[in-house]
Structure 1
């Protein structure tokens, strides 16, 4: 039997077991890095069989990618970039900003990022997996959000991709580098929210349509 072909297994997938696998992966990958974790170890930690694990994920690369996506979705779901009707632009940007800082300042995310940087020279392929599943995916969502805001006339942005990068870089600031280097703990939620408010105000001043 080919364990890596979930189409041949013929069993309905259990979402609770899938989430248990993702949770195990979210704990093991940051602690040991991609190469330091085996699929069997993840299956054992999730208390599932290897057969069950491969019924949900094609291989370790697939599981790693999906675990990064799941981590992002918990703090900053894709729905954040599609604000509910009636939510004004400033509120929507603040919600995105707060979710983003909650995500990058989470201890597991910090540990994983440190691990990736440490191993990137010898393991560039898996650093690429992380970037595509996390930052690149988020930038794409933000670009779409800003394109829609520009089409509606709420913003005037010539290059939404660059504006998306500017927004997230402003949010990270130098404090993220300090936290990554262990020079200070992650800022408290109230401090993060104040920072987000300031960034959003600056961003809107830069990209609001000019009035004559």
Structure 2
């Protein structure tokens, strides 16, 4: 993403500014997080903040880039091993619903869509480290589970996309269009559980 923004100077409070901004964006999203909020979270003056990032959008792009990397690293490291299929799908569904319900993730998604032509590298990195990585990892799991006789999935990558869409059902459009700011824990759990049930109804294997 070298062509995304010009090289910026980094000083001793650079990481401090990034962490303060991440907290603000995570809590309130791009539009809701003000410069005063970011400076207060970071424990710096607005002058110091502007010395690193003269525009809030540039700061958000840097946070989005780092968040994409963090999500990719996390996805590689936290997948549990040797869970029964239902438990594994429940774990994945809960993670997906939580991701869709995150104000920071939604803000990154909106910015990527709005600025895809102006900042194509940001949109592509978000896709690679978000939807594509999730599809690839889930597709690989579905293929392995089918080979073990635990599922019956003929097209793993397509089925992985279906599962992701089930985890969005009834909530993502409301969040993306700002109809709701957050989905309750109860509804999130319901959506995740129903995604698993629907998926297993199509691809599950009946045990004799």
Give 1:151's match in structure 2, choosing from 129, 147, 150.
147
1:136 paired residue number: 132
Moved over 2 A (4+): 17-32, 61-67, 71-74, 77-81, 121-126, 209-212
- CA separation of 1:46/1:121 partners in 2, compared to 1, >3 Å: closer, same or farther? farther
Aligned partner of 2:176 in structure 1 is 180
Change (3 A) 1:19 1:149: farther
Q: Is the 8 A contact 1:93 1:200 kept in 2?
A: yes
TM-score, length of structure 2 as denominator length: 0.67
Q: Contact 2:97 / 2:191 at 8 angstroms: preserved in 1?
A: no
Which residue is equivalent to 2:69? 69
Distance 2:145 2:174 in 1: 33
For structure 2, which runs of at least 5 residues remain unmatched after alignment? 1-6, 8-12, 32-41, 45-60
- Unpaired segments ≥5 residues, structure 1: 5-16, 33-44, 48-60
Residues 57-114 of structure 1 show CA distances to partners (whole Å, capped at 9, x for unaligned) of xxxx99864531314655xx33454x333x3111110111111111121111111111
1:1-212 alignment runs, 5 A limit: 23=19, 26=22, 31=30, 65-71=65-71, 77-81=75-79, 83-85=80-82, 87-209=83-205
Q: CA deviation at 1:23?
A: 3.8
- SS of match in other structure, 1:194: helix
Q: How many residues align?
A: 172
Distance of 1:149 and 1:73 partners within structure 2: 23
Supply the distance in 1 between the matched residues of 2:77 and 2:198 (Cα, whole angstroms). Answer: 24
